[in-house]
């Protein structure tokens, strides 16, 4: 769980009895709005990737539901979302950050053993990049990015993935203030589509791939 007020990571341990939990905290020092569980290090343990005030933190998992110390990476001026996945063919998971403050996305390529390279910025996709998800928008098997521009009027930007990284964004208008994103196949073709949810007026916009 990412706690904005407590500036901490709280781990709720599931137990076999089902209902009871133990709670532990790891040391932390920053605001965290999003966290993702993912296997970055290539071992048996699930790791945590969290946004910070100016980038991300990685907590590599270890035995017993514990974590190694925090490793921080700079990425933007106010990250709002983070995703983990393979954007290239090297089998090392990579990290993409949506930076709300600059409206850019940042790619941090995996270097193995849970380590990441420096954040590579991509051109501004919007004024305020609120959410980011992987999608294969054009069906070419390369992972693309869908990014919400949380403004009025708002848009969803698509950055097509290629072997070298991502191409320049293309923007598609959607309802006011899109924030969250979901990716799925909403019509009868085999291409992935996008649902963008809004704070105001509470609408959901569907963007079908073509
Ligand atoms: Ca990679
Ligand atoms: Ca693609
Ligand atoms: Ca579709």
The pLDDT assigned to 32 comes to: 76
Q: With a cut of 90, say whether residue 104 has pLDDT above it.
A: yes
Cα of 158 vs centre of ligand 2, distance in Å, is 10
- Give the Å distance between the CA of 201 and the centre of ligand 3: 25
What is the model's pLDDT at position 150? 83
Residue 30's nearest CA partner among 14, 48, 47, 53 is 53
The number of beta carbons lying within 10 Å of the beta carbon of residue 124 is 15
Q: What is the 21 CA–ligand 3 centroid distance (Å)?
A: 40
Burial of 40 (0-12, 13-18, 19+ CB in 10 A): buried
> What is the value of pTM for the model shown?
0.87
The average confidence (pLDDT) of the chain is 86
């Amino acid at each position: 769980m990412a706690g904005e007020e407590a500036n901490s990571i709280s781990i709720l341990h599931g137990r076999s009895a089902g209902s009871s939990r133990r709670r532990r905290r790891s040391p932390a020092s920053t605001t965290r709005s999003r966290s993702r569980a993912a296997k970055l290090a290539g071992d048996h343990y699930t790791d945590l990737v969290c946004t910070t005030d100016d980038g991300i933190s990685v907590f590599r998992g270890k035995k017993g539901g514990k974590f190694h110390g925090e490793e921080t990476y700079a990425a933007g001026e106010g990250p709002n979302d983070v995703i983990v996945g393979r954007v290239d063919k090297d089998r090392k998971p990579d990290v993409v950050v949506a930076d709300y403050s600059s409206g850019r996305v940042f790619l941090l390529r995996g270097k193995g053993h849970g380590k990441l390279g420096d954040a590579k910025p991509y051109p501004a996709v919007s004024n305020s990049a609120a959410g980011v998800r992987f999608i294969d928008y054009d069906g070419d098997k390369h992972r693309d990015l869908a990014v919400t521009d949380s403004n009025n009027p708002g848009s969803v930007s698509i950055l097509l993935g290629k072997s070298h990284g991502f191409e320049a964004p293309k923007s598609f208008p959607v309802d006011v203030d899109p924030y969250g994103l979901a990716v799925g196949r909403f019509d009868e073709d085999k291409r992935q589509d996008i649902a963008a949810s809004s704070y105001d007026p509470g609408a959901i916009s569907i963007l079908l791939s073509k």
